[in-house]
Structure 1
Amino acid sequence: MPLNSINTNVAAMQAVAAFNAINAEMAQVQMRITTGRKINSPKDNPAIWAIAQNQRGELRSLDAVKGSLQRGRSIVDVAMSAAETVSDLLNEIRALAVSAADFPLGDASRAALNDQYLALRKQIDITVANAGFNGVNLLAAGGGDRVRALANTSATSTIDVDPVDMSTGGALLAGLPADLLGGLGATSIADIKAATDRVNGAIGKLGTGAKALDNHLKFVVKQQDTLEAAIGNLVDADLARESARLQALQVRQQLALMAMQIANRQPSYLLQLFQFR
């Protein structure tokens, strides 16, 4: 192909190709600046996009794990609060039993102490019956409810907290006198103390379960933060670098426009060869 041709302007085609390439790169840089990401779709980098998308799925699954742990923690916290109230009531019951033993059977003072005792026994059952959260009660009679909080995103591991029956008819409060009107001796008062000790031991187990839930929840939150940072390392754009690239591309774009103008003027220069004086 002749170098001096008016039918085919190679220089202009090259300038247009360079201009289009610069525009395409500029559009990519502007997209990165707008979104803050260097990987916005699979066509940017299919492998990195797939890895990041998989980790986003893991991040969303950890939200479900965190929700399960928070729900379990709330259930146990409500149960512990009620159980502490039961322990306080048992301390009062023990004090009443000791006081009642000081009065003979049929004494009016003993009858008054018995009324208080029965009210406290009833309060224990009321407290236990209202120790539920979101339909789960770890202290109710029968012990049918339990906490099984998710510990991982594959749902293959759980943080377990078992129920404890703190009703007056349960095993923990076995030996608690029906009233204070019968014969009260050292054995009866010892039974009340033993019931109190069993309740306090059960509260300790609830506390251990609550601590396990808290610790694992903290771990999951840290795991989410680490995953989020890892995803950012893969797909986030360096805005300072992209800003510098944008300025360089703007200069190259202007130079490409000037090159196009020069190339488009080249055929007109050939006309001067045919000017006769």
Structure 2
Amino acid sequence: MTSINTNQSAMVALDTLQNINKSLQTVQSQISTGRKINTARDNAAVWAISTTMESDVAAFKTITDSLNLGAATVGVARSASETVTGLLKEMKSLIVSAAEENVDRTKIQTDITALRNQIADTVDAAQFNGLNLLKGGDSVSLLSSLNRDASNNVTADKIAVNRVDLTETAGVASTTNIASGEAGFVTDSGSGTLADGSGTPTTATLTFTGGDLAAGDLFSLTAGGVTVEYTASAGDTAADVASALKTAAEADAGFSADVALAISTSGDDTVLTVTNSGAATSAYSATAKTGGTAAGGLSGLADIDVTTTEGAAAALTSIETMLNTAIDASAGFGSAQKRVDIQNDFIGSLIDSLEIGVSALTDANLEEASARLQALQVQQQLGLQSLSIANQAPQSILSLFR
């Protein structure tokens, strides 16, 4: 039966044409944008993941800028410390030549003074954007990465670069005892004198309270007949102090062979054990003072005077220590710069991987879209013809009334 009130064929043709037009609109959007996921409406889950990853990519690109800045800063410090090392080597050669008798020590001292001034100029100029790693201060943290866990919690990773003070700044002695409970406070387990240990060795312990120390804190140790001192640098811990005091005491030529030092830990604290195995008694003690400032690593340059035989001999010992300080600084900055470069390369690769992953999730397959577009255009034309034919069907009824 043909109805002039309801044209079922036209309704079906219209519905089909509307679906074709929707599909055609989707394919045209994919071709024009190159993406199959443009909004959360297209696919909410994939859109959320891709948007999060895109935000991470933007953050990592910012981190790359931070690492480039850090690499440049550390590179300047490394180059300057290597230059200082070379100047100290020249100075050492002059000091060695001053040890001879038949030389003009005054002229040699003039050359040493010129090198000293050049070292000071090099250290002062070793800055990048106002940051100088060759002057005292806390370590510098370089933003190196962002870490996202399964719960989408994000934390920042940083690379710490320690400053090395290569200035000639004289230190200020610490005079205030470190209070009980504060980092570096020393607890003595004994009376201050180890008894005869020839039969059974006698021991005592010096416990250094754990924690980070203030730069300039001064520690001294008396054991085995010698007294040594150590001035803490920024970032030093009680363990660093105990180790440095032990090393310095054992290296002293006057240190008794009957006394032994050992380091252990007790929770966060560091314990220095003094053992006497000799027949004679042996005094021991340790002090910890705060309130001072650490001397620059090359503070000894101000005291170098080779115009006398004694001065030349003392200068040789001093220059060796300062040369090792500069060498250690150069090596440390070199290692830090290499790590920054490696991290920078990794971040670049990570950005590429993330962008590839986002592309796989959201980009359209243009070959498929092109083929789909042509098919839909044909279907659209057929749909229009089908709708036109369906709309003409009721007109055939008019012939029945002629």
TM-score by length of 1: 0.89
Partner in structure 2 of residue 47 of structure 1: 45
The separation in 2 between residues aligned to 1:214 and 1:45, in whole angstroms, is 39
User: For 2:387, what is the secondary structure of its paired residue?
Assistant: helix
Matches within 5 A, 1:115-134: 115-134=110-129
Q: What whole-Å deviation, never above 9, does each CA across 1:184-240 have from its counterpart, x for those lacking one?
A: 444422431332122112211111111221222222222211111111111111111
Q: CA deviation at 1:268?
A: 2.0
Mapped contact 2:297–2:325 kept (Cα < 8 A): yes
Partner in structure 1 of residue 214 of structure 2: none
Among residues 233, 237, 242, which one is paired with 2:360 in the alignment? 233
Partner in structure 2 of residue 212 of structure 1: 339
Partner in structure 1 of residue 308 of structure 2: 182
User: For 2:56, what is the secondary structure of its paired residue?
Assistant: helix
Greater mean deviation of Cα atoms: 50-59 or 173-182: 173-182
Partner in structure 2 of residue 173 of structure 1: 298
Q: CA deviation at 1:155?
A: 4.5
Alignment of 1:152 onto 2:148:
no
Matches within 5 A, 1:22-33: 22-33=20-31
Mapped contact 1:137–1:145 kept (Cα < 8 A): no
Higher fraction of helix = 1
Identity among equivalent pairs (%): 40
Q: What whole-Å deviation, never above 9, does each CA across 1:29-51 have from its counterpart, x for those lacking one?
A: 01101111100011111111111
Q: What whole-Å deviation, never above 9, does each CA across 1:164-194 have from its counterpart, x for those lacking one?
A: 0111335532544434323344442243133
Mapped contact 2:305–2:315 kept (Cα < 8 A): no
Flag structure 2 segments of 5+ consecutive residues without an equivalent. Answer: 147-153, 170-294
Among residues 40, 60, 63, which one is paired with 2:61 in the alignment? 63
State the AA in 1 paired with 2:165. D
The separation in 1 between residues aligned to 2:305 and 2:20, in whole angstroms, is 92
The separation in 1 between residues aligned to 2:139 and 2:69, in whole angstroms, is 12
Going from structure 1 to structure 2, the CA distance change for 1:63 and 1:155 (only over 3 Å counts) comes to: farther
Partner in structure 1 of residue 163 of structure 2: 163
User: For 1:44, what is the secondary structure of its paired residue?
Assistant: coil
Greater mean deviation of Cα atoms: 189-198 or 48-57: 189-198
State the AA in 1 paired with 2:298. L
Q: CA deviation at 1:75?
A: 1.1
State the AA in 1 paired with 2:137. G
TM-score by length of 2: 0.63
Higher fraction of strand = 2
Q: CA deviation at 1:134?
A: 1.8
The separation in 2 between residues aligned to 1:111 and 1:186, in whole angstroms, is 15
State the AA in 2 paired with 1:224. I
Flag structure 1 segments of 5+ consecutive residues without an equivalent. Answer: none
Q: CA deviation at 1:64?
A: 2.9
Mapped contact 1:151–1:157 kept (Cα < 8 A): yes
Mapped contact 2:300–2:318 kept (Cα < 8 A): yes
Q: CA deviation at 1:103?
A: 5.5
Partner in structure 1 of residue 17 of structure 2: 19
The separation in 1 between residues aligned to 2:327 and 2:38, in whole angstroms, is 57
The separation in 2 between residues aligned to 1:97 and 1:155, in whole angstroms, is 52
How many residues are paired up?
268
Among residues 85, 107, 116, which one is paired with 1:112 in the alignment? 107
Mapped contact 1:138–1:145 kept (Cα < 8 A): no
User: For 2:145, what is the secondary structure of its paired residue?
Assistant: coil
